[in-house]
Amino acid sequence: MRVLVIGGDGYCGWATALYLSNHGYEVGILDSLVRRHWDAQLCTDTLTPIAPIKARLQRWKDLTGKHIDLFIGDLNDYPFLEKSLLQFQPDAVVHFGEQRSAPFSMIDREHAVLTQANNVIGNLNLLYALRDHFPDCHLVKLGTMGEYGTPNIDIEEGYITIEHNGRKDTLPYPKQPGSFYHLSKVHDSHNIHFACKIWGLRATDLNQGVVYGVLTEETGMDELLINRLDYDGVFGTALNRFCIQAAVGHPLTVYGKGSQTRAFLDIRDTVRCVEIAIANPANPGEFRVFNQFTEMFSVGDLANMVKSAGNTMGMNVDVQHLDNPRVEMEDHYFNAKNTNLLELGLQPHLLSDSLLDSLLNFAVKYKTRVDKDQILPKVKWRR
Ligand code: NAD
Ligand code: USQ
């Protein structure tokens, strides 16, 4: 099976491309490398020293004998996208290739526009290219749990059945996203749903929670294959940031009360979930939604777990409650379903088992690379 991984030079995409290659899939990577450019513009860098994409792929080939095709270019460049797809001939496309930071999208008007143009137009181009050249190809698109926001009822997987004035229907679950980035994912979901309906495309929207960890079997095989690990206030996500903060003796940056709750998963489960989706494709015309996470924690829970794990490693970890730079509910109900992937065979890695191996040990190993000026959040949601 031929799988094109769009965004395959990024955090989730690199781990997924190697995992699929290792498990017998013919893999191609399409990426504009724009993420490396955004890091440079923000004067920040991944904690782990990632190699250039060609060096990464050459090392993978030398180690395993497996070749991964490479297409360097932008999804927003339609002729390039068409040419790459026609050359690669995919059976499935996994689409990770977007601007994925909520704070980045809230810096100013330019960054909000860049995020939505990059994400929404890129995804729309992909839908048209699939319609015209590969209408039977399965699109596996990375959405986000943040599309749903924090409603005061259980979160279903994409759809909810509602009775209203004596009539009943199953409708897309209401969306209440919390940043211009999260909104771009909602727009993508609507566009994909519509394309499936009118053109009969087949798609799976993976509403993924916050991903943590750096280690997968494949990226751990060699230093040149190491994955990125972001810790800065723009691209770093909560748990990854907390581990690196613990390693350098910076107090853990809990925003507000820390009672805000999110869904999480280990990067080793990200790669497996994508494989499960590919191996069990949606039907023609079907817009299928899976909630891709394994556990739910409040930000305060995470800080406490990192504090106690860090203290057992001899660190002296403090927790600091900062004024919340975001506009988000802190005290709220949060209970999301995630049965679809479990029923298809996902066996979760639990945070309590992997905090040390997959994260804290890496944070300690590379802590001399930390730029402490990048830790505190600088982007605010309010004017
Ligand atoms: P990342 O920034 O590490 O990787 C994204 C990759 O896409 C980068 O290599 C970038 O160069 C590429 N890209 C961006 N725009 C492109 C374009 N127009 N054309 C070609 N390539 C482009 O991000 P990530 O953390 O790996 O996230 C991947 C996907 O998963 C995103 O869609 C994100 O919204 C989603 N997601 C991530 C997380 C998380 O915690 N990291 C959680 C939920 C969902
Ligand atoms: N938070 C802190 N301290 C920090 C960083 C974050 O308390 O130092 C809090 C935030 O206020 C928020 C929560 O932690 O309440 C999550 O923030 P995050 O930065 O870890 O994650 P988020 O902005 O939601 O975005 C990340 C990815 C994004 C993905 C999303 C999944 O960057 O691509 O879509 O997780 S989800 O959260 O389910 O929407």
Which position among 16, 115, 144, 204 bears the catalytic label?
144
pLDDT the model gives residue 329? 98
Q: Which residues of 188-219 are buried (b: 16+ CB within 10 A; e: fewer)?
A: bbebbbebbeeeebbbbbbbbbbbbbbbbebb
Residue 376 — pLDDT band, cuts 50, 70, 90? very high
Place of tokens 């080939």: 61
Residue 11 — pLDDT band, cuts 50, 70, 90? very high
pLDDT the model gives residue 156? 98
The DSSP secondary structure of 304-365, one letter per residue, reads HHHHHHHHHTT----EEEEPPSS---SS----B--HHHHHTT--PPPHHHHHIIIIIHHHHH
Atom 19 of ligand 2, nearest CA residue? 237
Q: Is the CB of 100 under 6 A from ligand 2?
A: yes
Q: Is the CB of 101 under 6 A from ligand 2?
A: yes
Closest by alpha carbon to 96, among 263, 292, 352? 292
Atom 11 of ligand 2, nearest CA residue? 255
Instruction: Answer yes or no: are the C-beta atoms of 214 and 269 closer than 8 Å.
Output: no
Q: Is the CB of 241 under 6 A from ligand 2?
A: yes
Residue 36 — pLDDT band, cuts 50, 70, 90? very high
pLDDT the model gives residue 355? 82
144 catalytic, yes or no? Answer: yes
Least confident of 139-143, 304-308, 350-354: 350-354
- Classify residue 155 by its DSSP letter: B
Tell the burial category of 285 from Cβ atoms under 10 Å away from its Cβ (0-12, 13-18, 19+).
Answer: middle
pLDDT digits (tens, 9 = 90+) for 284-305: 999 999 999 999 999 999 999 9
Q: CB neighbours of 294 closer than 8 A, spacing ≥ 6?
A: 209, 264, 265, 266, 269, 338, 346, 348, 349, 350
Q: CB neighbours of 119 closer than 8 A, spacing ≥ 6?
A: 98, 99, 181, 184, 185, 187, 188
Q: Is the CB of 45 under 6 A from ligand 1?
A: no
pLDDT digits (tens, 9 = 90+) for 91-132: 999 999 999 999 999 999 999 999 999 999 999 999 999 999
pLDDT the model gives residue 356? 74
What distance in angstroms lies between residue 332's CA and the mean position of ligand 2's atoms?
Answer: 16
pTM > 0.95: yes or no: yes
* Average pLDDT value for the chain: 97
- Classify residue 231 by its DSSP letter: -
Domains of the chain, start order? 2-220+265-294+334-349 (3.40.50.720)
Residue 354 — pLDDT band, cuts 50, 70, 90? confident
366 catalytic, yes or no? Answer: no
161 catalytic, yes or no? Answer: no
